[in-house]
Amino acid sequence: MLKASIVGASGYSGGELVRLLSGHPNVELEILTASSQQGRRMEESFPSLKGFSEHTLVAPDWQQLGEASDVVFLALPHGLSMAGAPGLLEAGAKVVDLGADFRLHDVALYREWYDLEHSAPDLLEDAVYGLPELNREVIRGARLVACPGCYPTAASLALMPLLRSLSEAGTDVVGTIIVDAKSGVSGAGRTATMGTHFSEVNENVKAYKLGVHRHMPEMQQTFGVLGSDAPVFFSPHLVPMTRGILATCYASLDAVPSQVEAQRLWQETYEGHPFVRVLSEGLPETKATLGSNFCDLAVRVDPEKQLVVAVAALDNLVKGAAGQAIQCMNLMFDLAEEEGLWQAPVFP
Amino acid sequence: MLKASIVGASGYSGGELVRLLSGHPNVELEILTASSQQGRRMEESFPSLKGFSEHTLVAPDWQQLGEASDVVFLALPHGLSMAGAPGLLEAGAKVVDLGADFRLHDVALYREWYDLEHSAPDLLEDAVYGLPELNREVIRGARLVACPGCYPTAASLALMPLLRSLSEAGTDVVGTIIVDAKSGVSGAGRTATMGTHFSEVNENVKAYKLGVHRHMPEMQQTFGVLGSDAPVFFSPHLVPMTRGILATCYASLDAVPSQVEAQRLWQETYEGHPFVRVLSEGLPETKATLGSNFCDLAVRVDPEKQLVVAVAALDNLVKGAAGQAIQCMNLMFDLAEEEGLWQAPVFP
Amino acid sequence: MLKASIVGASGYSGGELVRLLSGHPNVELEILTASSQQGRRMEESFPSLKGFSEHTLVAPDWQQLGEASDVVFLALPHGLSMAGAPGLLEAGAKVVDLGADFRLHDVALYREWYDLEHSAPDLLEDAVYGLPELNREVIRGARLVACPGCYPTAASLALMPLLRSLSEAGTDVVGTIIVDAKSGVSGAGRTATMGTHFSEVNENVKAYKLGVHRHMPEMQQTFGVLGSDAPVFFSPHLVPMTRGILATCYASLDAVPSQVEAQRLWQETYEGHPFVRVLSEGLPETKATLGSNFCDLAVRVDPEKQLVVAVAALDNLVKGAAGQAIQCMNLMFDLAEEEGLWQAPVFP
Amino acid sequence: MLKASIVGASGYSGGELVRLLSGHPNVELEILTASSQQGRRMEESFPSLKGFSEHTLVAPDWQQLGEASDVVFLALPHGLSMAGAPGLLEAGAKVVDLGADFRLHDVALYREWYDLEHSAPDLLEDAVYGLPELNREVIRGARLVACPGCYPTAASLALMPLLRSLSEAGTDVVGTIIVDAKSGVSGAGRTATMGTHFSEVNENVKAYKLGVHRHMPEMQQTFGVLGSDAPVFFSPHLVPMTRGILATCYASLDAVPSQVEAQRLWQETYEGHPFVRVLSEGLPETKATLGSNFCDLAVRVDPEKQLVVAVAALDNLVKGAAGQAIQCMNLMFDLAEEEGLWQAPVFP
């Protein structure tokens, strides 16, 4: 049994890690920490978990966490993971970071977008970007994995087949890639704010951080890894639901594939990847992924306008956070990739 | 491996049975039927189930179903189960009925409330009311189980400790027991109607069938089994959410227990019943049970007004339907009661 | 033109007062105050009001408010109105208080339930309870009106015909009156808290403050005015919508009227009261009152169980707060009761 | 007083016309028709309207409608308005069509997208496109107005400043204009379908009719009128709310204006247009327009990516349907443009 600990267990990603790991046959939960709810029992913070966790939330002690755990999940606001990760690694634990600190490889970019000096730049080289459909083999050997943001997960899975195929053909998207994403409110975390107050969010749709969201440079970086130099414009929107991201991604080409070719390309790309489902008909909807680690994809080609539109749906707390983190953990410890995650979505 | 078939697989209870049974280690799904969607694949009807079911929906053939299956789940509108059950039983299958046909023991009551002549009255004696917390041992030996309605499940679990205890003391509730329940919209099924049209139901709460809902005589029957002759008034309400029932139940007494005694009584009643969680603090909320087979309970005593208020929360499609049916199946086939059902609720 | 000012304009009741008064033909808005958002313009706090208010939110200055205004609306947390009202009245303004400070006539009751010593007990005698359907004539002559809480408005309008009629017949309800109410989240105000965080409230129903909500003694007081000594038990519930209250009220009698008699009694009681609509068929739904000052009512009699069930639906921010306050103002200043309020609900 | 009749009064646009016109000081409602609910009273179809309409729904009789009315509003599925409009006009009534039959000027385009032969092609020349911010003066003289679709209203208002300004400068958008819109469910009408069934739509976001929605050629036509030949790709999405459209529109340019210039351009374009509010800060949200005739706009320029992003929010049933139709009627009958429509949105 792997000993797993969670730093930041009182937030939504933390709760989701406990929910999923409590059913994982190869894991036992060791230490759960929370800075603001120390001393409370996990089931007080999450009444849903009554019967699934006897843990009391404690303050994080990096040394102790590292020694007591085979793997430590960090579910923290940015700036905090880079403080704790070095100690955990030194103490011999592997680290799966759900936060932003190790996603961007370039410290200057990190400084620019997060307005912070990176305190563990040496680790950036070791950090593997935890998108298994992109980096499965490298993740297997990693000791520090930086899981993608929820929006970049959706956008990257939607566009990976196209960008890789263009790159292989020595060409690229024309103009700007547009990612227009719609997210449920849980993506904003568990802290009560005016922007997540029920009466302000319910029966409402709005755009926010248009072109200035921190997930935009992360997408740009991944699209670069996939071989595209096209600029990305990212428009996040908040919709009145709890879970789910739908990303509608637009790319203009000089010469588009046919709809049939595109369909085949997307399907072939994800053969052997259990958690990406390329739909053979219909368009993705977030509800068909709720509570599960699946990302559902569809692609549409407009031959006249030379436009490819790729749509991704996922549950931001599972494939966009806790589920993907566990998928990475499975790879890091040579377990089956689906272990503990193979559950059908809850519908309706 | 048990061979299980589902009649009425294209409705919400049917879909939920497939979701849950697809992860049950002792079950394999044999035949899925649907009258209106014959020929479609299950994953077309439920895109969420892509990867979890290769089945094509077929027309129900009772003979074939009974021979091919160890157990057949019936998820049908009332009137249809009593037509199919006899053949299934004759062919040797056990039957778990999620519908209403075998819930009421009294054919006259069935006629009065369902406006139908019962076509299989002989089976009523064999039919066991599938509330495991009430009838666990009898269910073990049953070949035909009639699962409770979603509302009666909530109300019966809420009040069972009180009614049984009063009965043992030779007394009863004073006046009328009031059950005021609030349900999500999935309880109304998957057929599109004006009453379940999004724009009519969203941002809306309403009472319906006040005092004339068919689940009222079912509650009355169960309360009678528990030893109470007090009349029941049942008020169902529709609230703008998909899943969940919250039942607030009011009983006046001549002499109420103290809050501490009541708390102890509720807890002792459900010791050894894995799917009922008596909260030690706070009040139940439906969200803490979403997607799971749990029923969460709390009790409050008002000593001045001599009133006991018991509150139950559950997921109407799981503990109120498919989950409870599987819990019964586990008992009927000597499996662990939690098998295939021990999952933490999805929160938030 | 009446000069009206609003103390506490940045909350939901305050915003609703501005929305409604901006269309009132006899009112001009003078001063809008807010303690936490001073210096912001009203349209920054409520983007919906762009074009309807040029006001900047200022700190409350009681003297200035009283002198500049014919009427001052107080939309404040309890404890604050009783501090400001005396000065306003001295300066010659009339006061309509949407808060709790002047609702309970008994200072001991106020102390018990609000855990505060009342600082203006002398004014309690002058304060008129602002339920126009109960107190229309007294409100006309009042200089200080205490508007009912949102829940008591619903429960009182639902039960007024019954309680008054029983009292006239020299009898009363048997046992405890039960008020089971379901409220939208805006009733909890505009301050962001964990309990109103979208992801915690959405897809959720829960009971709260069972039998200990501060609106319970207020109901008890009004029922007493109507001639009933029966105890009241009040169960508030939170449902996932923004606006609306549905109150389902249960009263057992020794001898119930027939359904037809009850229907006639309810209709006759509210003849001449423009904002109460007694439904001739169907049951009330909150959505049919959204954005309007209407309270919709229905009554059901169960002759066998000797039970009367009365259901009320209203918009908690209008008939439950700002609209009712304006209705009172209209009476206080000899305007037509409907002035500025005669708008059809927004449906769907 | 203008005599106004409504054909198709039992649908959402019809109900909204009654809601708004019942408060219009210059209008009295004459005849309300409905094909499916004949003989029912309007308040039975819309309980919200109890007290606002005494009308009984009747079958449409074009001759009678035309003679009895100064203006007839058609709120009908496509194909039906073109059958009725000629008779109404002949009888002397003016016609405001909320449907699609007279929006496209080109019968071939109509045939292609609506799969119907146009039966009144002669009227297409007379029909004025009812977007007052584009066609105010022509609408004043019109006898037949074709109100824009809800999506084209949002997209056209969002992009009008840009497209007109580019055209004046003799240039155009580079590549394809992308309109990514998010709509509440009421846009799909009042007929209950699987796609609008609460449990399927709630907690869900999905794209539909990607690049094949009938509002796309309508946008293309309006953009052409504004001087742009750029192709349009339109992506509608369904979000779990009742009312509201948010349209996020993307246009790449050879040379973008500065943010300040763009802000000024948008503001100047809508000076004197009472129902378009260009936000000076923040981004539009649908909730700030609920129940009102406002369209809120914002524009963002990305100078590096040479991209202009314009965002529009409106209530699809008001500015996107009934409200805009009344705005047109006001112009056609020389009333103030705001008459009967100057109401603050309902927030929250």
Give the minimum alpha-carbon distance from A119 to chain D in angstroms, rounded to a whole number: 30
Res D36: pLDDT: 85
CB distance B114 to B90 below 8 Å: no
Helix axes B132-140, B150-168, angle to 10 degrees: 90
Q: What is the spatial distance between Cα C76 and Cα B55, in angstroms, rounded to a whole number?
A: 60
> Can you say how many angstroms the Cα of residue B142 is from the centroid of all Cα atoms in its chain?
17
Whether A198 and C185 lie within 8 Å, measured CB to CB: yes
Tokens coding A310: 């790729």
Q: Which residues of chain A neighbour B48 with C-beta distances below 8 Å?
A: 287-290, 292, 344-347
Q: Which of A273, A270, A149, A271 is nearest to A221 (CA)?
A: A149
- Residue in A147, A150, A249, A295 annotated catalytic: A150
DSSP 8-state assignment for residue A243: S
Question: B319: exposed, middle or buried (C-beta count within 10 Å: 0-12, 13-18, 19+)?
Answer: buried
What stretches in chain D show pLDDT beneath 70?
none
Say whether pLDDT at B281 is over 90. Answer: yes
Residue type, C340: G
> Can you say how many angstroms the Cα of residue C148 is from the centroid of all Cα atoms in its chain?
4
Q: Report pLDDT digits (tens) over C77-88.
A: 999 999 999 999
Say whether pLDDT at C298 is over 90. Answer: yes
Helix (H) / strand (E) containing B95:
strand B94-97
Average pLDDT over residues B289-318: 98
Beta strands in chain A (DSSP E): 2-7, 27-33, 71-74, 94-97, 128-129, 144-146, 174-183, 206-207, 232-238, 245-252, 276-278, 295-302, 307-314
Say whether pLDDT at C36 is over 90. Answer: no
Q: What is the spatial distance between Cα A185 and Cα A175, in angstroms, rounded to a whole number?
A: 31
End-to-end C-alpha distance for chain B, whole angstroms: 34
**Residue reference for tokens 């035949």:** B31
Whether D196 and B192 lie within 8 Å, measured CB to CB: yes
Query: How long, in residues, is chain D?
Result: 348
Q: Report pLDDT digits (tens) over C264-283.
A: 999 999 999 999 999 999 99
DSSP string computed for D134-169 = HHHHHHHT-SEEEPPPHHHHHHHHHHHHHHHHHHHT
Residue type, D255: A
End-to-end C-alpha distance for chain C, whole angstroms: 34
CB distance D202 to B242 below 8 Å: yes
Res B36: pLDDT: 85
Say whether pLDDT at B255 is over 90. Answer: yes
Res B338: pLDDT: 98
C150 is catalytic: yes
Whether D233 and A199 lie within 8 Å, measured CB to CB: no
Single pTM value for the model: 0.98
Q: Report pLDDT digits (tens) over C126-147.
A: 999 999 999 999 999 999 999 9
Beta strands in C100-252 (DSSP E): 128-129, 144-146, 174-183, 206-207, 232-238, 245-252
User: Which residue in B205, B210, B241 is closest to C204 by CB distance?
Assistant: B241
End-to-end C-alpha distance for chain A, whole angstroms: 34
- Residue in C150, C249, C295, C328 annotated catalytic: C150
Res A36: pLDDT: 85
CA A127-A133-A136 angle, 5° bins: 50
Whether C279 and D22 lie within 8 Å, measured CB to CB: no
Average pLDDT over residues C54-69: 97
Say whether pLDDT at C159 is over 90. Answer: yes
C-alpha separations of D337 from A116, A164, D28, D331 in Å: 53, 54, 17, 6
Tokens coding A181: 């994403």
Res C227: pLDDT: 98
User: Which residue in B203, B279, B343 is closest to A203 by CB distance?
Assistant: B203
Q: Report pLDDT digits (tens) over A280-303.
A: 999 999 999 999 999 999 999 999
Give the minimum alpha-carbon distance from C37 to chain B in angstroms, rounded to a whole number: 29
What stretches in chain A show pLDDT beneath 70?
none
Query: Which chain B residue is nearest to residue C287, measuring alpha carbons?
Result: B204
Average pLDDT over residues C33-46: 94
Q: Report pLDDT digits (tens) over B155-214.
A: 999 999 999 999 999 999 999 999 999 999 999 999 999 999 999 999 999 999 999 999
Domains and CATH numbers, chain D: 2-126 (3.40.50.720), 151-316 (3.30.360.10)
Q: What percent of chain C has pLDDT over 70?
A: 100
Average pLDDT, chain B: 98
**Residue reference for tokens 């509003």:** D73
Res C267: pLDDT: 98
Q: Which residues of chain A neighbour C241 with C-beta distances below 8 Å?
A: 202
Question: A257: exposed, middle or buried (C-beta count within 10 Å: 0-12, 13-18, 19+)?
Answer: middle
Contacts of B21 (CB under 8 A, 6+ apart): B4, B6, B27, B29, B326, B340
Average pLDDT over residues C148-170: 98
Res B122: pLDDT: 96
Q: Which of A348, A235, A236, A249 is nearest to A299 (CA)?
A: A249
CB distance D176 to A173 below 8 Å: no
- Residue B312 φ/ψ, nearest 5 degrees: -125, 140
Whether B346 and A290 lie within 8 Å, measured CB to CB: yes
> Is ipTM over 0.90?
yes
Give the minimum alpha-carbon distance from D133 to chain C in angstroms, rounded to a whole number: 18
